[in-house]
Structure 1
Amino acid sequence: MSPDSMWSIGELAERAGVTVKTVRFYSDRGLLPEGVRSTGGHRRYGPEALDRLHLIRSLRTLDLPVPEVGRVLDEEDTLEDVVARQLRQVGSRLAALRWQEAALRLLRDCPPEERAERLRLIGAVSVPPSTAALARFWRRWLPPRLPARLVSSIVEHAVPQLPEGPTPVQVLAFTRLHAFVTAPCPGPDNGRPAAHRPDGGRPAVLYDGLTEAYALASPLLRAERPPHGGEALDCFVSAYARSRGARDTPAFRRALSGVLAADPRIDHYWKLTGEIIGPSEPTPGTIHDWLCAALDDQLARQAG
């Protein structure tokens, strides 16, 4: 096509339903190459420019950044990959907005004397919130030299995920939980149970067994069954016995009950976790308490 038979920048803008400024913007950024220049040095565009301009506008309607649009047009990246990245970014923004809404409601509805403290808690958490501090807490708290797959499994079950649409109560619980795990742990053992000490046996064997015992007990808690003996309790006790190279005997069970009763506890962590995930889903902490109660109940029945 000769320059005189092609469209001027104004004609292209009119056909596309946009302003001349818009066409010039995309042209200057290399998204809309001009066909040729007229004898007077003016830009001229062919029909293919109209199709390309429509595609650019469609991609920009999805709020894709100009560089991302350019990569799609130049086939440096697929539309599927660009859309997937954009979806992740939109999801992150939505999560941040939902968190901010719930946090604002929390501040609006709380008593005035509590507002400063709650604002401090909220300000210490990133937006959208991250559970990285909770994961670090567990990786520090667990005994050293546990297998990586076991550590990952424990962290996955112990770290609660904030719901997509959190309530003000869940926001408050999460910020308090974040403050708890980032505060210094009191005491020489940093709140660790006896099983974490050098003479505590083989922690990897213990935690493998506890994972199985918790899985067996979890449905019982969901069904609101009272603590009682059975497969879950036997698995629980066996985990401690095997980790110490001992036999599961009545004497061992009595001694274990005393050890567990004297162990440091992180009840505050599990209480806040329960407020985040809701009462219908048992936490590892509530499962552990249920199994300890089942052991004590069994010993009491045998003594009676």
Structure 2
Amino acid sequence: MSDHTELLTIGELARRTGLSVRTIRFWSDSGVVVPTGRTAGGFRLYDADATARVDLVRTLRELGLDLETVRRVLDRQVTVRDVARAHARAVDAEIRTLQARRAVLDRVARQGSTTKEMRLMHELARMSADERQRIIDDFVHETFDGVDPDAPGAHIAQAMRTVPKHLPADPTAEQVDAWVELAELVGDEPFRERVREMALAGARGEQQPAGPDPAKVAEHAGQAVREHVAPATAAGKEFLHRIVDPGLPAAERARLADQLATFTDRRVERYWQLLAVLNGRPQVPSQVPAFEWLIAALRAED
């Protein structure tokens, strides 16, 4: 009998392929390696082409494909190329999940965590990129709900959504910490209310004041902060007058202080700093302490 007409028992097929009879029988029952016929006693028989089919099934299974997908490939319902592409994407997603979990474990091993932090980190590690993005999108949507997208300052909403889809393949400790801190921050109700206050003020046209010059604030108010100069002192007044006109009327000083206070908040600045960390952008030195000092000085001057 030639190789083309020879029929193999399940045991002979197992010996040729190096697989167990049990595995081939399971694949046969699943419809991926169908016998050509049966003996008079009911035993399965396979043609010579079954060897190649078994080898292909084994390869596809080792790549992680389920039997239903394997059957569709063998029945030419889908191509191997299409399946490979889809499976490659699934493997990539699994790799990213494992990388996130490893990063969480590294963080716990590095510094320890509270039960609350560990639970949050575990949830973040399990989430898909879309689910992590949804946390930020929900926060931004609630914050800017009802704000005209063409209103002054409304563009900030889009900027607040710029969370990277994935952590880097080998995230730094700072990036892992930033993910955790950001998730905690956007889940905090007082923070959400504060950002909404800013959003509504911007929508009303209460743009951040054009003056004073931010460079002067950073230089002079920043120096006053570093030197621990109290705003409500003679020395504080000297620093203030390097930033604003000494002749500025009291009502204008109060208005300017209120405007600056509307858009000055340490935790909102921290949000932008965390986005910079996650997106791999350089950190900008904190400006809030200098502006807080200036606000206090404007309100303290007689």
User: Shorter-normalised TM-score: what interval?
Assistant: 0.5 to 0.7
Aligned counterparts of 1:38 and 1:152: Cα–Cα separation in 2: 72
Contact 1:139 1:155 in 2 (8 A): no
Q: Distance in 2 between matches of 1:17 and 1:67?
A: 23
What is the deviation of 1:143? 4.9
Match of 1:262 in 2: 262
Structure 2 contact 35–44 (Cα < 8 Å) conserved: yes
What is the aligned partner in structure 2 of residue 180 from structure 1?
Answer: 185
Q: Distance in 2 between matches of 1:289 and 1:146?
A: 28
1:130-174 CA-partner distances (Å, limit 9, x unpaired)? 2220121112222525459x79854553x2442232233322210
Task: After superposition, give the CA deviation of every residue in 1:79-132 in whole Å (9 maximum; x if it has no partner).
Answer: 222222212221122112111111111111215xx5545324314435145222
Give the match for residue 38 of structure 1. Answer: 39
Q: Any residues of structure 2 matched to 1:1-304 within 5 Å, and which?
A: 5-110=6-111, 114-116=113-115, 118-128=117-127, 130-144=132-146, 146=148, 153-154=158-159, 156-157=161-162, 159-161=163-165, 162-185=167-190, 189-193=193-197, 196-197=200-201, 200-201=204-205, 259-263=259-263, 265=265, 266-280=268-282
Structure 1 position 54, deviation (Å): 1.3
Secondary structure (helix, strand or coil) at the match of 2:196 reads: coil
Q: Quick one: structure 1 residues 287 and 79, their matched pair in 2 at CA, closer, same or farther if it must change by over 3 Å? A: farther
CA contact (8 A) 1:99 1:128 kept: no
Cα-to-partner distance string for 1:43-90 (whole Å, 9 max, x where unaligned): 111112112111111111211111111111122222222222212221
C-alpha change, 1:31 and 1:88, in structure 2 (3 Å) is: same
Distance 1:109 1:5, change over 3 A: closer
Matched to 2:274, the amino acid is L
1:35 positional shift? 0.5
Distance (Å, rounded) in 1 between the aligned partners of 2:281 and 2:202? 36
- Render the CA deviation track for 1:157-197: whole Å, top value 9, x for unaligned: 3x24422322333222101110111121358x543355524
% identical equivalent positions: 29
On the 8 A contact 2:147/2:203 being kept in 1, the answer is no
Letter paired with 1:163? P
In the superposition, relative to structure 1, how do residues 87 and 260 fare at CA in structure 2: closer, same or farther (>3 Å)?
Answer: farther
- Which amino acid in the other structure matches residue 262 of structure 2? A
Which 5+ residue runs of structure 1 have no aligned equivalent? 207-225, 229-253, 297-304
Cα distance in 2, alignment partners of residues 101 and 126 from structure 1: 9
CA distance in 2, matches of 1:71, 1:194: 55
Q: Is the 8 A contact 1:102 1:171 kept in 2?
A: yes
What is the CA–CA distance in structure 2 between the aligned matches of 1:198 and 1:227, rounded to whole Å? Answer: 22
What is the CA-CA distance between 1:260 and the residue it aligns to?
Answer: 4.7
Cα distance in 1 for partners of 2:57, 2:63 equals 10
Distance in 1, Cα, partners of 2:111 & 2:74: 51
Contact 1:32 1:53 (8 Å CA) reproduced? yes
Whole-angstrom distance in 2 between the partners of 1:172 and 1:269: 13
Larger radius of gyration: 2
**Aligned AA for 1:165?**
D
- The letter of the residue matching 1:74 is D
Q: What runs of 5+ residues in structure 2 fail to find an aligned partner?
A: 208-213, 217-252, 295-302
CA distance in 1, matches of 2:270, 2:157: 22
Q: 1:192–1:264: 8 Å Cα contact kept in structure 2? A: no
* 3-state SS, counterpart of residue 192 of structure 1: helix
